[in-house]
Chains A and B, each alone.
Chain A
Amino acid sequence: MKEDFLRNVTQNQGIIHKVTRIYCDDEDDRKDLFQEILIQLWKSYDKFREQSKFSTWMYRVAINTAITNFKRDKKSRKQSEIGKDLYQLADEPYDEEKEEHLKLLHEAINQLTGIEKSITLLYLEDKAYEEISEITGISQNYVRVKMNRIKKKLESFVKSKERI
């Protein structure tokens, strides 16, 4: 059973990386959350009876673990330093507009609550409302309402940044 689990998780590990990227600011926190998600996935693997797609189940466990994870205060580090490497593109010629978009994306995501981050992540991953609802267990109506609020929140954040 463990071999099956390891094979499936290795193939779909991108999901865990994405969840840790959206929820954690620094490398150490990301590593800790990555490990905790793996452990929660392994503990729940018995219960996974292929009722849903493996990736759907993986998103659910990963997001639940991330939302219930304790967010430590980062008083000792400047906000601008946090997540500096997180959205940087390696080995690519410098593109000012792209870098600006990435910086803005990082800052915008940091404005969101844990639940908003989960919905945003699934939206950015092109998931339909139906699947977002299946992953989080919240109604499609609620997802729609929440998504509209997130859009407004992000738009007003971008506008406020552009004014500066």
Chain B
Amino acid sequence: MELHDFKKAWQKVNSDKSQSEGMDSATINELLRRRSKGILSRLDRSVKFGIGFLVFFLLLTLADQFLPANFIFPSDSRVSFEVPRWINLLEWFVNLILMMSILIFVVRYRSLQAKTLADQDLKETIEKVLELLDTFKKEFYLAVIILLSGISLGFLSGANKGFQSVQISQPPSILNVAIVVVAMLLLLGLILGSIFYIFHKGYNHLFGKYRDQLIKSLNELQENEE
């Protein structure tokens, strides 16, 4: 069988199928309205959702900082205790990083022209999809780090409060303090490590293979150009 036989076979299939596959414009319009399962649309949605989530988290944190303590919860249902200054500073530091990152993500998303990704040269399209994937990855890990920072700060606040109350009622020995601090850090490390591992595995499961596939295609293009 020669290549022109392939051509003939291909043309035959297409002329045969064109009758049965034809859609009218109403059907095509209906397809445009439906939510797509395609990876480009999903990736675009994920990045937008990620930016939305980070903005929401930032607003929530700012509301927590600036609104009066009893704005959301009645004052008598809230157990009040003094948060140490260094924990407050850490919270502000995390917020600052968050604000800067959101700004960077929005600028990067716009510069990628994600809406028209498929209307470029093949190589450019693959490179931009990889960049978009990279943006989403950073967004994803930032969300994980924020979550872990929140858990750590809450854990440290609680531990600090507990330590203060014990000190008032019954001053502990240095050995006991050392044991408690080491145990707390181990527990915190274990919790943070497990959460990070689960999210990391989750991300790789979602997009790891896809990234490999794109890199393979890009390498194929570059190898031939060289």
Contacts and interface: CB of A to CB of B under 8 A. Distances in A.
A151 B3 CA distance: 7
Interface stretch (B51-59, B121-129, B141-149, B173-181): B121-129
A136 to B, nearest CB: 5
B225 interface: yes
Given A7-B25, A36-B36, A90-B20, A154 B124 contact: no
B16 interface: yes
Interface in A115-164: 115, 118, 123-124, 126, 136-139, 142, 145-146, 151, 154-155, 158, 162
Contacts of A146: 224
A35 B42 CA distance: 13
Given A6-B25, A36-B38, A68 B31 contact: no
Contacts of A43: 115-116, 118
A89 B21 CA distance: 13
Given A10-B23, A105-B9, A114 B116 contact: no
Interface of A: 2, 6-7, 9-10, 13-14, 17-18, 21, 32-36, 38-44, 46-48, 57, 60-61, 63-65, 67-71, 87, 89-90, 92, 98, 101-102, 104-105, 108, 113-115, 118, 123-124, 126, 136-139, 142, 145-146, 151, 154-155, 158, 162
Contact of B118 (A18, A64, A92): A64
B32 A42 contact: yes
A47 B38 contact: no
Contact of A115 (B119, B122, B210): B122
B12 A89 contact: yes
B39 interface: yes
Nearest to A13: B23
A142 B124 CA distance: 16
Where chain B touches its partner, the secondary structure class is helix
Contacts of A6: 25, 28-29
B6 interface: yes
Interface stretch (B78-86, B100-108, B189-197, B214-222): B214-222
B224 A142 contact: yes
Contact of A102 (B13, B39, B115, B120): B13
Contact of A98 (B9, B21, B40, B213): B9
B130 to A, nearest CB: 9
A67 B36 contact: no
